Amino acid sequence: MKNFWEKLPKPFFCLAPMADVTDTAFRRIITKYGKPDVFWTEFTSADGLVSGGRKVLKSNLFFRKIEKPIIAQLFSSNPEKMRQAAKYVAGLGFDGIDINMGCPDKSIEKQGAGAAMMKDMKKAGHIIQAVKDGIKDSGKKVSISVKTRVGYNKNQLEEWIPFLLSQKIDALTIHARTRKEMSKVPANWDYVKRAVEIRNKMKIKTKIIGNGDVKDIKDGKRKAKETGCDGIMIGRAIFGNPWLFAGKIPTTKEKLKVLIEHTKLFEKLLGKSRNFAVMKKHFKAYVNGFDGAKELRVKLMQTNSAKEVEKVILGSPTSEYPK
C-alpha cells in the first residue's frame, strides 16, 4: 500500500541500493540475520526492462514477500520507457518505485540518467511524471520516491530539493554529498538537516531519508536526532555484516559460516545469470580482523564455485573457522 511509509517507526532504517551487492541472494541473508525496515533493490535500467534486456535484468527484481516493504529502483532519461518500465515493475508487487537521480556512474550519466538528472530539472520532472503515469497504468497502489545528491559540481540544495519536493513524491533520499565529491569527502549531514527544514517550511509530508557514512544503528539514530530526518539509509556498512540492522556484533566463526551460506545462495539463485566473480567482492568484507585473514582471502579469491569456497574455509587450520 502507498501509505506503508506512515506505518514505519521514526527513525526507520533502509538498505541502500548497491549494484552487484544488494542482489536477491544478499537480501535473503540480510532478511534472515537482521532485516531493515525497508529494502531497496539494486538499480535497474528502465530502458533495458522494456527491451530485449528484460530477460537478463529480471534477476534484479526477484524478491520474496518476507522482504516487504521493498522498493525497486529504476533509472532512465527516456520518459516513455520509464513509464512502460514503471507499469511493469508496479505489476510485480513492489511497494514502491524509486528513481535514481544521484548515481555518478559514467555509463549511466552518458544516458542522461543518474546524477546527470541534477543538470536538467525539466527532464527530471518528466521522468517523475512518467513513473506516476506508469503506476497509474498498472492499476496498482505503489509509492514513488527519489534518491539523489545535494548537487552536481556544487551545492544546489536550495533549488534542487524544493523542486523535487514540489513533485509530490512520497519519500526523498539525500546522499549528503555532491556528484563531484563522490565518496572522497565525509558526508555533510547539515545538508540533510537543511532539506528537512525546507520540507517543513513547504508544509508537505514527503519523508526525508538521510544517507552517507552511517556506521551502524546507533550512529544512524544520532544523525536522525540531529537532523530531524525520518529515516536513515545504510550502504557500505552492510558489507560482510548481515547482522547490522539487528545491532549484533558477529564472531569470526559466524561471519565465515554465513559467507559459505551466502555463496551457496548466490550460486543457486544467480549462478546462471551472473559471473561468480561478483560474489568475490564480499570476501574481503567477511574475512578480516583475525590472524590468517589475508592468507585466507588470497585462497578464496582463487575459487570459482561455492563448493570451492566451502572447501577452503573448512580446510583452514585455524580453530575459529566453522567445522
Q: Per residue, what are the HEC states of the chain?
A: CHHHHHHCCCCEEEECCCCCCCCHHHHHHHHHHHCCCEEEEEEEEHHHHCCCCHHHHHHHHCCCHHHCCEEEEEECCCHHHHHHHHHHHHCCCCCEEEEEECCCCHHHHCCCCHHHHHHCHHHHHHHHHHHHHHHHHHCCCCEEEEEEECCCCCCCHHHHHHHHHCCCCCEEEEECCCCCCCCCCCCCCHHHHHHHHHHHHHCCCCEEEEECCCCCHHHHHHHHHHHCCCEEEECHHHCCCCCHHHCCCCCHHHHHHHHHHHHHHHHHHHCCCCCHHHHHHHHHHHCCCCCCHHHHHHHHCCCCCHHHHHHHHHCCCCCCCCC
Q: Which domain covers residue 132, as residue numbers?
A: 2-246
What mean pLDDT do residues 263-275 have? Answer: 93
Average pLDDT for residues 57-66, to the nearest whole number? 91
Q: Is 14 a catalytic residue?
A: no
pLDDT at 322: 52
Q: How far is residue 169 CA from its own chain's centroid? A: 18
Residue 319: per-residue pLDDT: 42
pLDDT of 321 above 70: no
Same domain, 230 and 264: no
Residue 59 vs residue 117, higher pLDDT: 117
**Percent of the residues in the chain that have a pLDDT greater than 70, as a whole number:** 97
Would you say how long the chain is, in residues? 323
Residue 276 has pLDDT above 90, yes or no: yes
**Active-site position among 50, 103, 238, 309:** 103
Question: pLDDT-derived band of residue 320, with 50, 70 and 90 as boundaries?
Answer: low
pLDDT in tens, 181-206: 888 899 999 999 999 999 999 999 99
Shared domain check, 147 and 274: no
223 plus 104 within the same structural domain: yes
Q: Are 69 and 217 in the same domain?
A: yes
Does residue 1 surpass a pLDDT of 50? no
pTM for this entry: 0.95
User: Do 196 and 72 belong to one domain?
Assistant: yes
Mean pLDDT score, 54-83: 93
- Give a yes or no: residue 320 inside a domain: no
What is the distance between the alpha carbons of residues 177 and 213, in angstroms, rounded to a whole number? 10
Among 246, 279, 294, residue at a domain's last position: 246
Residue 319, domain member (yes or no): no
Residue 282 and residue 116: Cα distance in Å, rounded? 29
Average pLDDT over residues 284-301: 94
**Which residues share a beta bridge with 13?**
232
Residues 188 and 294 in one domain: no
- pLDDT of 52 over the 90 cut: no
How many folded domains does the chain comprise? 2
